[in-house]
Amino acid sequence: MTIELTMLLYSVLLAFAIMLVPATDSILKNGVIPMMGNRDEGLAEPSVWNCRARRAAVNMAENLLWFAALVLIAHAAGVSTPETVLGVQLFFWGRVVHAVTYIAGIAYVRTLAWAASIAGMGLIVLALV
């Protein structure tokens, strides 16, 4: 498996891990049985960091869509260059830092990490065009 596909797999696992953070907090706060229901009423308000974790999970899912498309296009086209390798690494590590800083509430570092992940996708695009 290429490094690009490996980093795509790692990114999917990261997205899953980020999604588990607010889910686990909600289960700990409300209990398993209420969280198995429709959750229409009667649940405790989520904490501020739980809300940030949910937003981080949504942001990761949105960006993962574009990243996966780029990696799969590059793979199908047989494009694997130092730029694509750097691009996938920038994306993955940028997303790790983004998730941690988003959940922790560190705004400016979070934004820089997001920009690094976008730059990683840009490197893949440049290798494809």
pLDDT tens per residue across span 38-51: 777 777 787 888 88
Rg (CA), the chain: 17
> Alpha-carbon torsion 102, 96, 61, 121, what sign?
positive
Structural domain containing residue 88 = 3-34+46-128
Q: How far is CA 116 from the centre of its chain?
A: 13
Burial of 28 (C-beta count, 10 Å sphere; 0-12/13-18/19+): exposed
Judge whether 52 and 103 are in contact, CB under 8 Å. yes
pTM: 0.90
Q: Which amino acid is at 11?
A: S
Q: What CATH number is given to the structural domain containing 69?
A: 1.20.120.550
The pLDDT value given to residue 110: 95
Q: How many domains does the chain have?
A: 1
Does residue 29 fall inside a structural domain? Answer: yes
Inside any domain, residue 41: no
Q: Is the pLDDT of residue 23 over 90?
A: no
Residue 62 lies in a domain: yes
